Amino acid sequence: MRANKKKLKFDDSEYFIDDLPKEAKQLVNGLRTADAQIKMYEDTLKLIAVGKNKMIKDLKMILDKIKPIQD
């Protein structure tokens, strides 16, 4: 039965999550939530970067048709 229990790998050790104190379980859940949010925001940043690159490309195409200021 112990083979089916969820484990926490931390540093060079493993722990059964069910055997951890309540505070440790809460911290593990908090870390999981933080990891999920980091992944979500990384994906959001990638989408923003794609949009930004498209806007730069579009602006370049427009500016290529316009004569720049001459000093």
- Give the residues of the chain that fall short of pLDDT 50: none
Q: What angle do CA 58, 63, 68 make, to 5 degrees?
A: 165
For residues 2 and 16, is the Cβ–Cβ distance under 8 A? yes
pLDDT at 9: 96
**Which structure tokens are listed for 18?**
């069910």
Amino acid at residue number 2 = R
pLDDT at 4: 84
Domain borders along the chain are: 22-71
pLDDT at 2: 66
pLDDT at 66: 96
Rounded to an integer, what distance in angstroms lies between the CA atom of residue 1 and that of residue 71?
80
pLDDT at 1: 58
Sequence-separated (6 or more) residues with CB below 8 Å from residue 29: none
Rounded to an integer, what distance in angstroms lies between the CA atom of residue 45 and that of residue 70?
37
